[in-house]
Amino acid sequence: MSVACIIIITFITIITDHQLSTSAVSYSSLTDAIASRASEDRYIVLAMVDEAFTDMAMNFHEASLSKHHIDNYLFVGVGNSSCDVLYRHSVACFHYVDDPSAGKASDFGHSDFIRKMNIRTDMILEALAANFTVVHTDLDVSFLANPLPEIKVNL
């Protein structure tokens, strides 16, 4: 029997530079941001993050993406400051849209939750329309390995 342990790392930092990463490059559209991050065969791992869950995004980045050398990812930010913490740690994030409830968790079934899920759908449809293969993930999961080789073999 094995025991799994989840460690949540919380980073609290604020910066005002709104760009995709800490480099001087910024993107005017989600499609351009995805194109800069996707693999050569146009695979992209997308994860939506709002202001209430930046700590989970950092944890997912460290425990799943970095750990398994997954570089073709993009966090898609909802809310004015959703990407600020990620930028500070050189984590790729694109500010997609603002939402009045971005700073708080939303309960399943409520209008705030439904609106956020529609934003998620829009983000995925936009990437698919630009001919990217999207692997969407929530922030509260953990990759035990890089899933992309298995996904690509089974297509």
Task: Please give the CATH number for the structural domain made up of 30-153.
Answer: 3.40.50
Asked whether the predicted pLDDT for residue 41 surpasses 90, the reply is yes
Provide the token pair at 90.
């050189």
Helices (runs of H) and strands (runs of E) counted in the chain: 5, 4
Instruction: Give the pLDDT confidence of 114-146 residue by residue, as tens digits.
Output: 777 778 899 999 999 999 999 999 999 999 999
| Domain parsing of the chain, residue ranges | 30-153
The answer on pLDDT for 74 being more than 90 is yes
Q: CA torsion angle for 78, 81, 82, 84 (degrees, to 10)?
A: 140
Whether this model's pTM surpasses 0.85: no
Average pLDDT score over residue span 66-83: 90
CA gap 101, 64 in Å, rounded: 27
pLDDT at 10: 32
3-state helix, strand, coil in the chain (%, to 5): 35, 15, 50
What's the pLDDT at 39?
95
